[in-house]
Amino acid sequence: MFERVLIANRGEIAVRIARTLRAMGIESVAVFSDADREAPHVKAADVAVAIGGRTPGESYLKADLLLDAAKRTGAQAIHPGFGFLSENAAFAQAVADAGLTWIGPPASAIELMGSKTAAKRAAEDAGVPVVPGIHRDGLTDEDLLAWAEGQKYPLLVKAAAGGGGRGMRVVDEATKLPDALQAARREAQSAFGDDQLLIERYVETARHIEVQVMADTHGNVVHLNERECSLQRRHQKVIEEAPSPVVSPELRAQLGAESVALAKACGYVGAGTIEFIADAADPAEHFFLEMNTRLQVEHPVTELITGVDLVELQLRVAAGEELPVTQEDIGVSGHAVEARLYAETAAFLPSAGDVLAAHFPFGDPGVRIDGALEGGMTIGTDYDPMLAKVIAHGPDRATALARLDRALARTAVLGLETNAFPLRALLRDDDVRAAKMDTAQVERLTFPAPPADEALATTALLWTLLARETTADGDPLAARDGWRVGSSGRLRWRLVVGDDSAEREVVLTGSPDAAEITLDDETRTWTGAAVARVDADTVAVTLDGLRHAVRYAIAPDGTIWVGRDGWALPVRQLTGAADGSATSTGSLAAPMPGLILDVRAPEGTSVKEGDPIVVLESMKMEIVLAAPMDGVVAEVRVAQGGPGGRRRPRRQCRAREGERRVSRVLRSTARPDEANRTAHEALLEDLRDQLARVHAGGGEVAVERHLKRGKLLARDRVERLCDRGSAFLELSPLAAHGMYDGAAPGAGIVTGIGMVSGRPCVIVANDATVKGGTYYPITVKKHLRAQEIAERNHLPAIYLVDSGGAFLPQQDEVFPDKDDFGRIFFNQAQMSAKGIPQIACVMGSCTAGGAYVPAMSDETVIVKEQGTIFLGGPPLVKAATGEEVSAEDLGGGDLHSRTSGVTDHLAADDADALHRVRSIVATLNDAPAPPWTTRDPQAPALDPDTLLDVVPPSPRTPYDVREVIARVVDGSRFHEFKEHYGETVVTGFAHVHGHPVGIVGNNGVLFGESARKAAHFVELCDQRGIPLLFLQNISGFMVGREYEAGGIARDGAKMVTAVATARVPKITVVVGGSFGAGNYGMCGRAYDPRFLFMWPNARISVMGGEQAATVLATVRRDQLAARGVEWPAEEEQQLRAGIEEQFETQGHPYYSSARLWDDGIIDPRDTRRVVALALSACAGAPVPEPTRPLYRM
């Protein structure tokens, strides 16, 4: 055995090798560059040799310096670790030529496996399946392009030498292949000094499975089971585990046999890994990928499940010993998972900086830390950004995952960002837990950002604690705790989280022991917040009633880093002006640190938005930085070959006047027209009259009778139930308008969304003044619509019951069908099963089937001597049984609260009952946070009142829908999508009262390109989880032979399909016409908008009345002409007039609202408020994850 071994590496792998050398009694020799003079691997070795230089090319990649260090220290062998020269055949041969032992395979095996083409031939010869492709040496671009002709895409371009994702491109179509070949060659030449490429089939949904082998010089080769490495981003492994959760014992044996055969075929010695890609749907279909002729980064998971020290085996076989284990000795014990901790942002981009402190969960059960990180180190961009490996082992996979998650939560690196927080999110992903993984999965996921609000609150508390500690024994006047006579301290800061975050205002009132903290003028508030010291660099912080241990460190510039649960964020205090104003400079900053490869646009260059400015190499990738706007490059701050990083802008791009296009503020181009306002005001006056009639209920006599019974009216009950002064979004108040001879105003029921004890709820209140609250067919429909809104938006449903049940004269339309009266109770059961609270308040009669409303509710209140519940009332009981009983004795509050138990709370009167309902709602769990990111609301730059001036009242008169958008969205800011394509539909992103929305608004007819554009945008919003707002003013799709030949039906079908299958909340406002198939494409009622509202000037029908009259008149004229009959013009005019009158009546918003084709008619000036209320209602329900990619239409 050796007496002294040189470790030709650095960082955690050098520390790992030194640990085994020490255990075996072998002296270790470290080498170090100028940058690593005080590095942990230097301290871990027995002897350390300076080899100079700061970069890898000046130190760890210099073979002569390493050999000289070995000679000077008397080392007998060299262990290369991984990376650097570990797979360099020339260096391995040089070690052997120097009379030293190379702890690894012979140079011939490294050279063979280092060539992807030769490796694939060797694998084929050994009977190992390989991916179909072109693999020979010396392939030119012409050779590769010729082979690719006729091949099915996607294809994978790979560097023939080296690995790790460099020189690799996935190409999804033939037109992109030439550029991909050029980029891959450049990257391969830079990384490996060899620009040879190969192409092969790309397995789109693949798992990465690899087998660990070990071979000695006596011909013995064993495999040590497989590892699963499918969780990758940009071809870099993120999470590795062993064994693979999808490999059966039979497949394990097959993979192992193939790997052993290949190792024997190439005369292998030492540790090696054969990598396979396997079909995610059927892992048994697998292909050889490559062989790594070194120790792998992820080797610890194999060690943990086999109990074998792989480094020790490497040393023993290199020393000529026979393998101490046979294949029969190797088993599987439990499960192990490894996470690579990188210096990265939450977006997986490299970060750099000084490590202020590093905390790891050493000693946690089942946890192993392989690292070489400590406070005081500087992490730059010259070396790989991996900081450490956190590994967990358990008896099963679930335990190992849970232990790893907890270990990452207890990991805190302060001074630079790491990927610990997104790693935890990845471990908690349902598919990862279920082992449904593939190599593209990480790139498909959206990872949560660290909680900036909690970091701000924590920092504020920490500052108050530090102020108390530093001034406890000093001058109290110097204490920065905001104390005043007769009041608690009040401190205010302007803070920024991270490098690029917006300014935030934080106010703390109180002391470190008991404080109230508010952010940004009370947009977020914590009461009962507190902080207490645990040790020198740890405090216990209480927020929202939860106590957390928080690590912290203070940088030399005063920035405080705080971290817990895997996240760590820097918080710094701003100085200077307090108005928060800022000027956009058009600066172009690199998204990550790296090396500047090329400067495409020097100072003074005129550029267009999207033009390449700088080419940066980082994280084994070429990244093109493009101009953010049209303009002129004003200043150059980098040079080719120099460093680039996130801390400073790389370019300043000065915008030309009027050329900023992103999220622009819309300006009005319409001229105000007094005639427009006059017409709209007339329509609104009539709408107010119609609503007043609905509010009058069943008439004076019925209202007076109701009030004499001590009852509140339905709308008064709603008013008392909702939070004082809060909004109530009433739904379909004109239901049944013009129906049933006017006997059912509002359909005898009030429905809507209101805030109850701080929680948005759907409220259904029977109006007993309208036919005793009985249910007409349209009443049932309105009740069911309210329940649909509650269910789809996960809103608690509150039923204020005061109803005589079904309206018997129309029982055939109320009782028997699927969507009739019985569906109410079905919906209640379904919602309760889904955890959507159902609360009933019986405030009057509740008869027959209606008795199931309170009986099926989660919690029920009944008013004493007023509310009654029975399946059969006194008359029916007497007729059926002869029993005479009063309504109160049969089903009153006392009976059901004290005897039957049907109700849960007995109230004295209406006011008491409503108070009890509010108390019940107050006990519910808090509503979930919105599934999208909200921001502070901002009023439109254009006054919504001016909508009446600029929008024509007639759907026949064209106008630009941007005029509506500008008066609805926050700040009138609109980020338009495909502005110059398909211009009859307008699409783009905005915010309404802080909620993000994707807007689809149209200007009349839809053409094929308009439909394709809208379909693309709808899918884009659906993919991003952004709610959709449709502004309908649609006359239909374009007709005519030219357009039919162009596929208008197909294009329209794409749009209709995209709208129909979108999972995000959809809200529709009909601002003009809604005609024909355009109604479908623009999310009409049949396409499940969460809410649909109409303006008073809107019209809805299969086509316009004049168009319908022309069509039907033409048909009639042709019929008469066929019989030789002349059609008098007077008769034709009568027919036309009748049809136009019919369509005008049936297309009127009153007709629509009466039949619940919409959720109500609104004042155009209230559009912003109504949309905002609808979005708030939608925000309580989760948005399902995307299930398909975005297909560009």
Per-chain mean pLDDT for the chain: 88
When pLDDT is cut at 50, 70 and 90, the band that residue 346 belongs to is low
pLDDT on residue 880: 85
Q: What is the pLDDT of residues 1077-1118, one digit of tens each?
A: 888 899 999 999 999 999 999 999 877 777 777 888 888 888
Query: What is 452-573's CATH topology?
Result: Glycoprotein, Type 4 Pilin (3.30.700)
The DSSP line for 295-319 is --TTHHHHHHHH---HHHHHHHHHT
* Contact predicate 184/169, CB 8 Å: yes
Residue 486, pLDDT score? 43
Give the pLDDT confidence score for residue 954 in this predicted structure: 87
Q: In the chain, where are the structural domains located?
A: 4-103, 133-202, 206-444, 452-573, 683-923, 944-1095+1162-1179, 1110-1144
The more confidently predicted of residues 161 and 369 is: 369
3-state secondary structure of 50: strand
Residue 619, pLDDT above cutoff 50:
no
CA distance 1193 to 1186: 17
Q: Are 207 and 277 in contact (CB under 8 A)?
A: yes
* pLDDT surpassing 80 at residue 1181: yes
Q: Which of 80-94, 177-191, 624-638 has the lowest mean pLDDT?
A: 624-638
Strand 357-359 and strand 412-414: pairing?
antiparallel
pLDDT value, residue 1118: 87
Q: In CATH, which superfamily holds the domain spanning 206-444?
A: ATP-grasp fold, B domain (3.30.470.20)
207 vs 297: CA distance, rounded Å? 18
Instruction: Go through the chain and tell me how many residues it has.
Output: 1193
Here the tokens at position 755 are: 């805030």
Residue 374 neighbours by CB under 8 Å, 6+ apart: 40, 355, 358
Whether the predicted pLDDT of 480 surpasses 70:
no
Mean pLDDT of 224-232: 97
pLDDT-derived band at 307, boundaries 50, 70, 90: very high
CB neighbour class for 229 (10 Å; exposed up to 12, middle 13-18, buried from 19): buried
For residue 662, what pLDDT is reported?
43
What's the gap between Cα 121 and its chain centre? 44
The predicted-structure confidence for 671-689, as pLDDT tens digits, reads as follows 788 999 999 999 999 999 9
1006 half-sphere exposure, CB direction, 13 A CA radius: 38
Q: Are 698 and 767 in contact (CB under 8 A)?
A: yes
In the prediction, which pLDDT does 592 show? 47
Q: How confident is residue 588, by pLDDT bands cut at 50, 70 and 90?
A: low
| Strand ranges across the sheet with 47-50 | 47-50, 27-32, 4-7, 77-79, 101-102
Mean pLDDT of 920-924: 94
Mean pLDDT of 506-526: 87
CATH number for the domain formed by residue range(s) 4-103: 3.40.50.20
| Alpha carbon separation from 13 to 29, 33, 965 (Å, rounded) | 14, 16, 58
Integer-rounded Cα Rg, in Å, for the chain is 37
516 band by pLDDT with thresholds 50, 70 and 90: very high
Q: Which residues of 240-279 are buried (b: 16+ CB within 10 A; e: fewer)?
A: bbbbbebbeeebbeebbebbbbbbebbebbbbbbbbbbbb
Taking a C-beta distance cutoff of 8 angstroms, is the pair 205, 431 a contact? no
Per-residue pLDDT of 8-61, as tens digits, reads 999 999 999 999 999 999 999 999 999 999 999 999 999 999 999 988 999 999
* Tens-place pLDDT, residues 736-775: 999 999 999 999 999 999 999 989 999 999 999 999 998 9
Q: What's the rounded mean pLDDT across residues 110-122?
A: 91
CATH 3.90.226.10 for domain 944-1095+1162-1179: yes
- Of 1149, 426, 305, 355, which is closest to residue 733 (Cα–Cα)? 1149
What kind of fold does domain 683-923 have according to CATH? 2-enoyl-CoA Hydratase; Chain A, domain 1 (3.90.226)
Q: Is 133-202 CATH 3.30.56.10?
A: no
**Same fold: 4-103 with 683-923:** no
Q: What percent of the chain has pLDDT over 70?
A: 92
Separation of CA 391 from chain center:
27
Q: Are strands 1028-1034 and 995-1002 parallel, antiparallel or unpaired?
A: parallel
Tell me: the pLDDT tens digits for 986-1026?
999 999 999 999 999 987 788 899 999 999 999 999 999 99
User: Going by DSSP bridges, is the β-strand pair 643-644/621-626 parallel, antiparallel, or unpaired?
Assistant: unpaired
Percent of the chain with pLDDT over 90: 65
CB-CB neighbours of 405 under 10 Å: 20
- Rounded to a whole number of angstroms, the distance between the first and last alpha carbons of the chain is 67
Task: Tell if the pTM clears 0.85, that is, is over it.
Answer: no
CA–chain centroid gap for 711, Å, is 48
| Residue-wise pLDDT tens digits, 1157-1179 | 999 999 999 999 999 999 999 99
- 962-966 average pLDDT score: 95
* pLDDT of residue 576 exceeding 70: no
Assess whether pLDDT exceeds 70 at residue 812: yes
Other CB atoms within 10 A of residue 335 CB:
22
